Amino acid sequence: MAPTTETLTAERILEATEEVLRRHGPAKATVVDVARALGVSHGSVYRHFRTKAALREAVTKRWLDRTSGELSGIVATEGDPEARLRDWLSALFAAKRRKAGDDPELFATYMVLTGEAGTAVGEHITDLTAQLARIIEAGVESGCFAGTTDVEKAARAVFDATSRFHDPRYAREWEEPGIEADFAAVLDLVVRGLRP
């Protein structure tokens, strides 16, 4: 193992872990493999992530946060809440499809990792529904959407109603003919259901 001159950071470890997972898969990837890819001892990796489970949770969170980050820009924009809701749901579907289609090996790995015990997936869903709630709340305030006393509940209902287009369990369907038309139909139904 050649010594590295670059400072070892959590971000570098996560990048290397992602590459190791892509190459070896979750069943065979080890902390030693990550350390070897970085040119450091496995103890150096453990100084940043106390356990293999903590490292796997962090790399899963990083992967999920990329989607949340993409979508937060839509939430932050001003303008028509209905258009923002449509854009947000479309961007979520596109992001999930891209992850599944562009890097199927890593997507399969993350399917395993997200199924493991941990908080990353729950936190991701909480973040996404909170983003939806902000859009719905803006729609209620502007009169674009019907008044509701519980925007969080409405956001969760929208999230659940569109799950076929973002829940990784449906990934095989995302490339089927007609999926865009199915998505458009569900999106129209959801938006009509929110109008006053």
Express each pLDDT in 109-152 by its tens digit. 888 888 886 899 999 999 999 999 999 999 999 999 998 889 99
Mean pLDDT taken over the chain: 93
Q: What is the pLDDT of residue 90?
A: 98
154-to-13, 48, 140, 166, 181 alpha-carbon distances in Å: 39, 39, 11, 17, 24
62-92 residue pLDDT tens: 989 999 999 999 999 999 999 999 999 999 9
Rounded distance between C-alpha atoms, residue 135 and residue 87, angstroms: 11
Rounded to the nearest angstrom, the gap between the alpha carbon of residue 49 and the centroid of all alpha carbons in its chain is 21
Whole-model pTM: value is 0.89
CA distances from 164 to 48, 89, 167 (A): 36, 12, 6
What pLDDT is recorded for position 113?
83
Dist. CA 107–CA 112, nearest whole Å: 9
Percentage with pLDDT > 70 across the chain:
97
